[in-house]
Amino acid sequence: MEQVVHSEVTVESNEERMRTVAVILAGGVGVRVGLGIPKQLIKIAGKAIVEHTLEAIENNSNIDEIIIMMNAESIHELDHLRKDDRFSKLTRVLPGGETRNDTTKLALAALPDNECKVLFHDAVRPFIDDRILDDCVSALDTYDAVDTAIRSADTIIQVDDDGCISDMPDRSVLRRGQTPQAFKLSTIRRAYEIAADDPNFKATDDCGVIFTYLPDVKIYVVDGTAENMKVTEPIDIHIADKLFQLQSKSLSADSADLPSLTGKSVVVFGGSYGIGKSIAELTENLGARVFAFSRSETDTDVTSRSSVRRALNRAHAEAGSVDYVILTAGVLSVAPLVSAPKKEIKKTIRTNLTAPAIVAQEAFDFLKESQGSLTLFTSSSYTRGRAGYSLYSATKAGVVNLTQALAEEWDEDHVRVNCVNPQRTHTPMRTQAFGKEPENTLLSAEAVAEVSTRVMDSTMTGQVISVRL
């Protein structure tokens, strides 16, 4: 009897839940970022910033509909998003106005007359998270206007016309504004109607319009996060890129079950030992049809285009598809560059850099057909060249750049490309180069294989995923 009553209450509550519309403001032209394109279209981790933002909002259960207000001159750049099955909540991509407030007014005009909750969020804040979105939507049950802000870590000063300090407000009561800003639709519309009659109207954001023209309306403040940054200056692009890498590290500590790979096919180049062998064994245990190729066991030379092509054709012929391609093959020789044998130099470049390019070219058509993924491997030395293995470091940096570039090139074909960056790992290649090392200072190949499997089956692309002890 209690279950029946609970069910009836739940249905009634769902019927009364007010609809929530998220408006992504992408009207900027990106003058300050200085790359010649609107900043929301700059690609980081394989996707335009606006697409990362759209994904985060699309995946929030409290959002019912999404509208993008796009820079009018570049609106065609988002045509592909309207046809993308991933974005079922995206209903319209509309041209924005000349200013932030003009864009908001156009969005308000596009919304229906029925009361709803509306969230305005900057397209160039791609790290918006569910907690912030949920808090904003929930706060509108009590308040008519909501802002998002974080505490200021810096002392804020006020400066007069002469450039001298005129005031130093108490930092404890100061906040730095972010987005989303959220409102009852009727409230924000009323504020803009009043503002329209003011010839001196000027506001930098929508809460400012409420604050000025509806002073009796309380604006509740939701806590933002430092990560919810706005990509505005050139340095912000580099920070955002690193933030995406930090986010992907969670795969290393993911305690969730490994994915089921039943019905999938996995091709591992370098699959006879070390990390490659562990990946082949793990993915086979997860139900995949695995094809492990190596020079020692199948006479597959990853530096030979014809050899790679034969391997991929065989896998496709036997399995009917190639869903995942993983390249773990690599060489590491320790020697100062000036004394390195020419043969070793050539071998390092061909195996560590030319081979990933060959495998990528040959695998593309298969992965496009399956909408699968390519996973490459780098080393922590890619961030800084190290004495004794300069060419190894250089080629591993090249693999990272190759990953990021291919992720952009292949995005429209829905082929994902990522790069795994393991800390020192216990493999035959490392033992040969450095001798025996304490076991507790090295990752196991099995641990790297688990992360690699999560990466290859994830939706991410263009990422460098660090695996650490």
Q: Can you tell me the mean pLDDT for 347-352?
A: 92
Rounded to whole angstroms, how far apart are CA atoms 31 and 44? 18
Count of domains observed in the chain: 2
291 pLDDT higher than 70: yes
As given in the structure block, the two tokens for residue 56 are 């985060």
Q: In this predicted structure, what is the pLDDT of residue 159?
A: 94
Domain-located, residue 242: no
- Residue 2, pLDDT score: 33
Q: Which band of pLDDT confidence, cut at 50, 70 and 90, is reported for residue 317?
A: very high
* Other CB atoms within 10 Å distance of the CB of residue 131: 13
* pTM listed for this prediction: 0.71
Which strands, in side-by-side order, build the sheet including 289-293?
Answer: 289-293, 265-269, 324-327, 373-377, 416-422, 464-467
With a cut of 80, say whether residue 451 has pLDDT above it. yes
pLDDT confidence tier of residue 9, bands split at 50, 70 and 90 = very low
Helix count and strand count (H, E) for the chain: 16, 17
> What pLDDT score was predicted for residue 36?
60
pLDDT score of 391 = 86
Residue 336 — pLDDT band, cuts 50, 70, 90? confident
**Domain holding 149: CATH number?**
3.90.550.10
Which backbone phi and psi does 419 adopt, to 5 degrees? -135, 125
pLDDT digits (tens, 9 = 90+) for 205-222: 899 999 999 999 999 999
What is the tens place of the pLDDT at every residue in 92-118? 999 999 888 899 999 999 999 999 999
Please say if the pLDDT value at position 418 is more than 90.
yes
Instruction: Please say if the pLDDT value at position 338 is more than 70.
Output: yes
pLDDT at 182 over 70: yes
As a residue count, the chain comes to: 469
Q: Are residues 279 and 222 in the same domain?
A: no
Q: Residue 6: pLDDT band by 50, 70, 90 thresholds?
A: very low
Q: Is 159 part of a structural domain of the chain?
A: yes
Closest CA to 54 of 29, 73, 30, 81: 81
Q: Which pLDDT score, from 0 to 100, does residue 10 have?
A: 34
* Residue 7, pLDDT score: 30
Tokens 């003009």, located at residue: 102
* pLDDT-derived band at 275, boundaries 50, 70, 90: confident
Shared domain check, 281 and 226 = no
CA angle at 294 for the pair 286 and 278, rounded to the nearest 5°: 30
Q: How confident is the model at residue 133 (pLDDT cuts 50, 70, 90)?
A: very high
- The answer to whether residue 427 scores a pLDDT higher than 90 is no
Residue 57 domain flag: yes
pLDDT at position 432 = 57
**CA dist., res. 391 & res. 346, Å (int):** 10
Find tokens 């010649």 and name the residue: 36
Task: Identify which has the larger pLDDT, 437 or 290.
Answer: 290
| Confidence label for 309 from pLDDT (cuts 50, 70 and 90) | very high
Q: What is the rounded distance in angstroms from the CA atom of residue 370 to the CA atom of residue 265? A: 10
- Phi, psi of 175, rounded to the nearest 5 degrees: -135, 155
Q: DSSP string spanning 24-78?
A: EEE----TTTTSSS-GGG-EETTEEHHHHHHHHHHT-TT--EEEEEE-GGGGGGG
CATH code, domain carrying 444 = 3.40.50.720
**Cα gap 408→351, rounded to integer Å:** 24
Residue 278 shares a structural domain with residue 151: no
- pLDDT > 80? residue 441: no
Which of 232, 262, 293 lies at the terminal end of a domain, its last residue? 232
What token pair was written down for 378?
A: 């780098």
Q: What pLDDT digit, counting tens, does each position of 188-200 carry?
A: 999 999 999 999 8
For residue 315, pLDDT beyond 90: yes
Q: Is the peptide bond before 180 cis (omega within 30 degrees of 0)?
A: yes
Q: What is the mean pLDDT of the chain?
A: 86
Predicted pLDDT at 335: 74
Residue 245 domain-assigned (yes or no): no
> Is residue 92, in this structure, part of any structural domain at all?
yes
Same domain, 187 and 273: no
User: Phi/psi at 173 (nearest 5 deg)?
Assistant: -105, 0
106 and 203 in a common domain: yes
More confident residue, 463 or 322: 322
Residues 40 and 183 in one domain: yes
Could you tell me the CA-to-CA distances from 158 to 167, 207, 212, 349 in Å, in that order? 5, 21, 21, 56
Q: Are residues 314 and 441 in the same domain?
A: yes
Q: Are residues 371 and 440 in the same domain?
A: yes
Q: What is the pLDDT of residues 45-56, one digit of tens each?
A: 778 899 999 999
Could you give the angle at which helices 185-195 and 206-213 cross, rounded to 10 degrees? 70
Say what percent of the chain tops pLDDT 70: 87
Do 198 and 124 form a contact (C-beta atoms < 8 A)? no
Give the CB-side neighbour count of residue 412, counting CA atoms within 13 A.
6
- Same domain membership, residue 265 and residue 146: no
Taking the CA atoms of 72, 58, 460 and 237 in sequence, report the sign of the dihedral they define. Answer: positive
- Which residues form the domain of 298? 254-467
In this structure, is residue 419 part of a structural domain? yes
E strands, 382-462, are 416-422
Tell me what pLDDT residue 430 has: 53
* Burial class (CB within 10 angstroms; exposed 0-12, middle 13-18, buried 19+) of 85: exposed
pLDDT surpasses 70 at 203: yes
**Tokens representing residue 400 in the block:** 């990272």
**Is the backbone of residue 371 left (phi > 0), alpha (psi -120 to 50) or beta?**
left
Same domain? For 207 and 286 the reply is no
Assigned domain for 244 exists: no
Query: Nearest to residue 464, comparing CAs of 241, 242, 239, 245?
Result: 245
Question: Are both 392 and 339 inside the same structural domain?
Answer: yes
The CA-based angle 387-392-397, given to 5 degrees, is 105
Residue 263 has pLDDT above 60, yes or no: yes
Contacting residues for 357 by C-beta, under 8 A, at least 6 apart: 402
Residues 226 and 363 in one domain: no
pLDDT band at 247 (very low <50, low <70, confident <90, very high): low
* Residue 248 belongs to a domain: no
- Alpha-carbon distance 242 to 244, whole Å? 5
